[in-house]
Amino acid sequence: MKFGGTSIGGAAAVRQAVGIVAAQLERKPVVVVSAHVGVTDSLLAAARDTADVESGIDEIVDRHRAILRDLNLDARLLDALLDELRDLGRGLRLVGAVTPKLTDVIASYGERLSARVVAAALTAAGMSATPVDSFRVGLRTDSKFGRARPAPDDELIRRSLSDVRGVPVVTGFLGADEQGNITTLGRNGSDFSAALIGAAIGAEEVQIWTDVDGVHTADPRIVPAARSIRRMSFADVADLASFGSTVLHPAALEPLRQAGIPLRVRSTLAPAAVGTTVASAVDGGRPVVRAIAHRDDVAMITLRSQRLVPQHAFLSRVFRCLDQIGCDTGPVAVGEAAVTIAVETARAELAVQELASHADVDAAVGRAVVGIIGDAALTDYGGIVGVLGVLERAGVTAECAGLGSLGSVVAFSVTSGQLAETVQSLHRHLFSDS
């Protein structure tokens, strides 16, 4: 059972999570937690502003003390970790610089603190529970700080958790490299942690508890009429995640798919709702179109080869460069001696600087990408031609439109200003809502 930051965001949310765990106690749950909502961002912001780092840490300390007070827990419960964090802040102010390795240590305090809060709240409610740091029970990774990849499991996680008293409350997001250094799995990595731990212990299922009732046909914040999807395949959800759906971390799917363990997405705000079940195979007929996903605040970078080189060599250089700077991309449109890629706007300037030595580069900011997930070519709706027709009638100009390699995705780019109208128009057409 994994609880995201909003699902344990404050005292009321923690109480709700405790009730959800209590209702499934006979199933012997292992609980995985994110940091309280906003805490990781605050920790990283404090680390960047080394001149005022202690002030930022003081705010984090005050927030956790307030949560303890509101839950009627021991006010000294977190003193040891909070004192460590303050000492770290003083050191950062004196040094005036932070390395990726140290940034991961700082970021780790969010989950380490929340795990102790949730375990104490479970214990106070009459359930035996123990906080567990994942990096101490076998979640091992490489040394790519900030975006570490897990090492193969050798049953150490299962053996370690079997010795824990009561309900293990495990830190998400965190691991350790071969030297014992704390690492992080990247933003929203607690889903990934839950999947790795679920696969390691041979779980009956992995539940992701969040603030939405499962996966929807579109983002409910843009399309209020979006419908909750009862069952999806791992392939469908992977496609959604690749186009920016934040309900699930894309890396969380593969360990469960390989282990044949179903994943359920459920809402702490509506715990009686069935949510979405994700499995390798989905029984029964399904609609041609499953969902619409989008990712806003991207830059579309177009590169043209500066000289006559084989296309495969040109593309190899481009993607090797992106790998070196740790810049994810997608979708990608390839032409003769040219390629257009979508990257996060925050990474665009660095990407342009690094790529300029390999190609002539143009960047268009203020863009969004949209993906329609469904069966090959979406033939019931006229395929990509039908989609572009809907956009034309809505007055939306799409660029870089095309099909995914398996024909299960229609993807394109629009301006950020036209994103909401684009998704709403497509949802009305594809799902016949009014």
Say if 326 falls within a structural domain.
yes
Q: Say yes or no: 297 and 408 in one domain.
A: yes
The dihedrals phi and psi of 289, each to the nearest 5 degrees, come to -105, 125
Beta carbons within 10 angstroms of residue 194's beta carbon: 31
Q: Say yes or no: 157 and 23 in one domain.
A: yes
Tell how strand 359-374 and strand 289-305 pair up: antiparallel
Say if 225 falls within a structural domain.
no
Rounded to whole angstroms, the Cα distance separating 335 from 399 reads 14
Which of 294, 284, 293 lies closest to 236, judged by CA? Answer: 293
Say if 255 falls within a structural domain.
no
Q: Say yes or no: 307 and 188 in one domain.
A: no
CA dist 319 to 177, 187, 267, 370, Å? Answer: 26, 22, 38, 22
Model pLDDT, residue 360: 85
> How many structural domains comprise the chain?
2
Rounded to whole angstroms, the Cα distance separating 294 from 373 reads 11
Q: Say yes or no: 199 and 297 in one domain.
A: no
Pair 175, 185: CB distance under 8 Å: yes
**Which letter does DSSP use for residue 405 in this model?**
T
Say if 222 falls within a structural domain.
no
Tens-digit pLDDT string for the chain (434 aa): 999 999 999 999 999 999 999 999 999 999 999 999 999 999 999 988 888 888 999 999 999 999 999 999 999 999 999 999 999 999 988 888 889 999 999 999 999 999 999 999 999 999 999 999 999 999 999 999 998 999 998 899 999 999 999 999 999 999 999 999 999 998 778 999 999 999 999 999 999 999 888 889 999 889 999 988 899 888 888 888 777 666 677 778 889 999 999 999 999 999 998 899 999 877 766 677 888 989 898 889 888 886 666 777 788 888 888 888 777 777 777 777 788 888 888 888 888 888 888 788 888 899 999 988 877 556 566 667 778 888 889 899 888 877 765 556 788 889 999 999 999 999 998 887 54
Rounded to an integer, what is the distance from CA 199 to the centroid of its chain? 18
The dihedrals phi and psi of 199, each to the nearest 5 degrees, come to -65, -40
Q: Which of 150, 173, 204 is the endpoint of a domain?
A: 204
Pair 219, 423: CB distance under 8 Å: yes
Q: Which of 204, 230, 252 is the endpoint of a domain?
A: 204
Beta carbons within 10 angstroms of residue 52's beta carbon: 13
Largest CA distance in the chain: 71
Q: Say yes or no: 343 and 197 in one domain.
A: no
Rounded to whole angstroms, the Cα distance separating 307 from 36 reads 51
Tell how strand 276-279 and strand 231-233 pair up: parallel
Q: Which of 150, 184, 204 is the endpoint of a domain?
A: 204
Q: Say yes or no: 16 and 158 in one domain.
A: yes
Rounded to whole angstroms, the Cα distance separating 283 from 307 reads 52
Say if 265 falls within a structural domain.
no
Say if 162 falls within a structural domain.
yes
Which of 234, 235, 242 lies closest to 371, judged by CA? Answer: 242
Q: Say yes or no: 419 and 308 in one domain.
A: yes
Per the structure, the complete domain to which residue 8 belongs is given by 2-204
**297: helix, strand or coil:** strand
Q: Which residues pair with residue 1 across a beta bridge?
A: none
Pair 343, 327: CB distance under 8 Å: yes
Rounded to whole angstroms, the Cα distance separating 37 from 34 reads 8
Pair 430, 420: CB distance under 8 Å: no
CA–CA–CA angle 55, 59, 65 (5° rounding): 140
Model pLDDT, residue 195: 94
Amino acid at 412: F
CATH number assigned to the domain comprising residue 368: 3.30.2130.10
Q: Say yes or no: 87 and 198 in one domain.
A: yes
Q: Say yes or no: 14 and 162 in one domain.
A: yes
Which of 248, 286, 291 lies closest to 409, judged by CA? Answer: 291
Q: Say yes or no: 169 and 301 in one domain.
A: no
Tell how strand 2-3 and strand 206-210 pair up: parallel
Amino acid at 167: V
Say if 276 falls within a structural domain.
no
Q: Token match 């929340």: residue? A: 114
The continuous run of DSSP H or E covering 192 comes out as helix 190-201
Q: Say yes or no: 199 and 295 in one domain.
A: no
CATH number assigned to the domain comprising residue 90: 3.40.1160.10
pTM of the model: 0.85
Rounded to whole angstroms, the Cα distance separating 213 from 215 reads 7
Say if 166 falls within a structural domain.
yes
Model pLDDT, residue 434: 41
